[in-house]
Every structure is written in C-alpha cells, then in structure tokens.
Amino acid sequence: MSEKVGNFKEVFEEVIRNFIETKDKNGNNLSMDSIIVTSSEGETLEHYFNGNKTINDLRSASKPIIGLALGTALEKGLYFDGQKITLDTLVWPFFEDLVNLTNSDNIPKLKKVKLKHFLTHTIGHDVGLMFSKDIKDIPPEKYLDLIWNTDMTYDPGKFFVYANAGPFLISVLIQEGLGINLSQWVKDIIFEPLDIRDFQWKNYGKYCAASTGLRLSHEDFHKFALVFQNDGRYNDEQIVPKVWIDEMRTTKVLTPTMYDIKRVFPKYSYGYYLWVCKDGTYYVDGTDGQYMIVLHNKRIAITTFGHQQDMKPITMCMRPLL
C-alpha cells in the first residue's frame, strides 16, 4: 500500500472518529447516515454510521444535478419549437400564458429575466421563494403565480437571494418546451450514462419539484461528486462537457450576506447551483446534512447523508481532509 493511500485512510478514520465523538449545539450525537470520500488518486472510502445503506431526499443538493443536465443539453443544442435556447434566452415569453399576472409593477423587470438568472438566484426578488414555509398553504397550480407576482425589487442579475424558485422554473420550462417531465429528462441526459436506475423525484402538481424531493442512494449521489472531481468524466466517459463543469464552479455572483469566515467552507460566492469558496472549493448543501463537496486544489470529493438539523458540526468534522 502506498504512503499516499495509507495517509488517506488514516485521515478518513480521523474524520469518522470526529463524527462519532462530536456533539451538536444541543449536546446530542450527530445523526449521520453515511460519508463517502474519494481521493485525488481515485481511492474511495465509505462509512455507514448505522450499518445500513439508505436512500435519502437530497433536498437542495439536487440543484447541481439539474445544472449538469441543463448544461449538457445546452452544449448539445436545446430547442423549444425551433428556437435555440441559451443562457441569455429571455424566459418570460414561455411563462406569460401560464401565469395570472396581477403585479403589473413587475412587468419591466420580468421581461429582462434570462435563463442564467434561474441558475444564480438573481431573478430580482429580495426574498427567497418556494421554500416549504412559503408554499405549505398554496396549491401547486398557484406556484407560478407566487413567483412572478412577488415584488421584483431589483433588475435581474443584480441581487442574489438563495431560493428554490429557479430550479422549479427550469422544470416548468423543460416540461412546457419539450413535453417531458424534468425527472425523465434528467434521467435521459445524466442518470442513464451514470447507471443510476433507482430514483424517485416528487412533483409539485404536474411539474417536477426540481429543487427538492429527489431520492437517491448514497453511492449514486456520490457519482455526481466524481463527475465534478473529474471535469465531467465518469468511468472514462465524458458525461458532461468540461467547459460546462468549469462554468458551474466559477464565481458568477458574490454572496457577502452569506459569508462567514468562521465556517469550514465559507460561502464566498455562487456559481451555477454551487457555493464557491475563495480557495476554489465548491459544494452544495441540502437540509439536514446532505453535502457534496469538492476540494478543488486537492481534488478530493466528499458526500454525506444525514438527518442532522444542526449542520455546522458536520463540516467541522471534515477538517482533517483539508
């Protein structure tokens, strides 16, 4: 066994000890299901804290999966009724007949919204939308009305506010433009090349929820971390164009209100559905401990599954990998 592999295993064992010994803010043991880490040499180590392999809801960790599918489609050529779709496509014409627009003050701004603004949470709202608290008392057929009638305080592209609206709007675009549910579309483009066969993705009414509700095994979830780690390749096949991987993990908008230097992975900026740190590390985090992290400089890929509401200790346990 090489020294590099030996050191990697020792570091991984230290991380596992940290997870077992660390307490959350309430003094409880961490409620983690599993962690998988792949080194720059391709060595993969995994640990299941309860001894069981589970299928989890990725929550917001599903966002970059949508990004991978969209970018792959754009690079190959994406058309709605003969119109080529790009990141700069103005999207309101595709929604105009689907929305009961009552907030006429939004019209000048919504006409400027481009597809890329869905990917960077810069549609123009000053509040996050489509979280469970926002939609719990609203029927799914009214979700589009909620998004487009909420005051757009800023011009598109000018203000970042994290939300679940963008991915849902992409889901609507795909279904209306191609006549296929987003879940089937992502399956065709991304899941099948990665040999992901067992998944569930809930709908909001007739549209895929997109931002949440995707359930995968941890092994399948980790495949996406490997795609990023290997510049779009998996098992020696180019699944996603490298140019798109680079776009996703490159800063598109600074996020000063989210930045906390005390965090292990400070949210310095945002790419396309990925948080980007100053050192180039990029990641996504889903509620209760669903993480996908790529330490870009070290080329280490990390994923976790959990049911841990206090998520701060999760990344603290990973410090030995840094």
pLDDT for residue 3: 47
Res 32 pLDDT > 90: yes
CA dist., res. 268 & res. 250, Å (int): 12
Residue 13 lies in a domain: yes
Residues 26 and 90 occupy one common structural domain: no
The three-point CA angle 37-39-44 to 5° equals 50
Residues 217 and 171 occupy one common structural domain: no
Q: Among 25, 4, 13, 41, which residue's Cα sits nearest to residue 299?
A: 41
CA dist., res. 164 & res. 160, Å (int): 13
pLDDT for residue 54: 84
35 bridge partner residues? 47, 304
Residues 54 and 69 occupy one common structural domain: no
Tell me the three-class secondary structure of 56-109, residue by residue.
EECHHHHHHHHHHHHHHHHHHCEEECCEEECCCCECHHHHCCCCCCCCHHHHHH
Residues 54 and 72 occupy one common structural domain: no
pLDDT in tens, 284-301: 999 999 999 999 899 999
pLDDT in tens, 61-114: 999 999 999 999 999 999 999 999 999 999 999 999 999 999 999 999 999 999
Residue 197 lies in a domain: no
Residues 10 and 36 occupy one common structural domain: yes
- In sequence order, the 6+-apart residues with CB closer than 8 A to the CB of 26 are 310
Helix (H) or strand (E) holding 248: helix 242-248
Domain containing residue 313: CATH number: 3.40.710.10
Residues 36 and 108 occupy one common structural domain: no
**Residue for token digits 């390749």?**
233
Residues 224 and 165 occupy one common structural domain: no
Tokens of 301: 């890929």
Residue 203 lies in a domain: no
Residue 49 lies in a domain: yes
Residue 25 lies in a domain: yes
Residues 70 and 54 occupy one common structural domain: no
Give 169's pLDDT tier (boundaries 50, 70, 90): very high
Residue 188 lies in a domain: no
Residue 140 lies in a domain: yes
- As for how many domains the chain has, the answer is 2
pLDDT in tens, 96-111: 999 999 999 999 999 9
Residues 171 and 89 occupy one common structural domain: yes
Residues 41 and 74 occupy one common structural domain: no
- Residue 274 structural domain: 3-58+213-321
pLDDT in tens, 222-243: 999 999 999 999 999 999 999 9
Give 150's pLDDT tier (boundaries 50, 70, 90): very high
Query: What region, left, alpha or beta, does residue 42 occupy, with left being phi > 0 and alpha being psi -120 to 50 degrees?
Result: left
Segment 183-189 mean pLDDT: 98
Residue 285 lies in a domain: yes
pTM given for the model: 0.96
Residues 48 and 126 occupy one common structural domain: no
